[in-house]
Amino acid sequence: MPRVIAIDHGLKRTGLAVTDPLRIIATALDTVPTTELFAYLKAYVAKEAVDGFVVGLPMHLDGKPTDATPHVLEFIGHLKKAFPGQWVETVDERFTSRMAQQTLLASGKGRMARRDKGQLDRISATILLQGWLDAHRG
């Protein structure tokens, strides 16, 4: 079964996660500079079968768009054009950053490791993807 990639898109860097081939578990993949994201994704899709992308959509607690939402929607348009053979689905990412921070704290990592924003982006993407997997399992 082809994999699914989750994307936690940011203006500077983007966190990525991927499913295992059986789509049971999400695993952190990488954090890449956003300017290099399409090159990274094209190289990945060239070597691995990928069915589609799950993209985190930033929203305020009240469900209204954030300042980042238009950037993510623009990115999704480009993603669909660059990968016409794959589907693109959005998921609510309201609580993923907080969950990622709590995961890092619970892991017992030192303060310097917790300051690695790239690690936070990868964990956020993994949380997004695992939530998507869990929702599509039933």
For 85-122, the pLDDT digits (tens) are: 999 999 987 666 665 566 656 656 655 554 566 677 88
Fold (CATH) for 3-137: Nucleotidyltransferase; domain 5 (3.30.420)
What pLDDT digit, counting tens, does each position of 14-38 carry?
999 999 999 999 999 999 999 999 9
Kindly report the pTM of this predicted structure. Answer: 0.86
Contact 76, 54 (CB under 8 A): no
The helix/strand/coil state of 20 is: coil
Q: Kindly state the average pLDDT of the residues 112-137.
A: 80
**Domains of the chain, residue spans:** 3-137
Beta strands in the chain (DSSP E): 3-8, 13-19, 26-33, 50-57, 87-92
C-alpha span between 3 and 71 (Å, rounded): 25
Q: Burial of 75 by CB count in 10 Å (0-12 exposed, 13-18 middle, 19+ buried)?
A: buried
The residues with which 59 forms a beta bridge, in sequence order, are 65
- Which pLDDT belongs to residue 93? 77
- pLDDT at 8 exceeding the cut of 90: yes
Residue 31: per-residue pLDDT = 95
Asked if 122 and 96 count as a contact pair (C-beta separation under 8 A), the reply is: no
pLDDT value of residue 111? 59
Cβ-based burial of 125 (10 A; exposed 0-12, middle 13-18, buried ≥19): buried
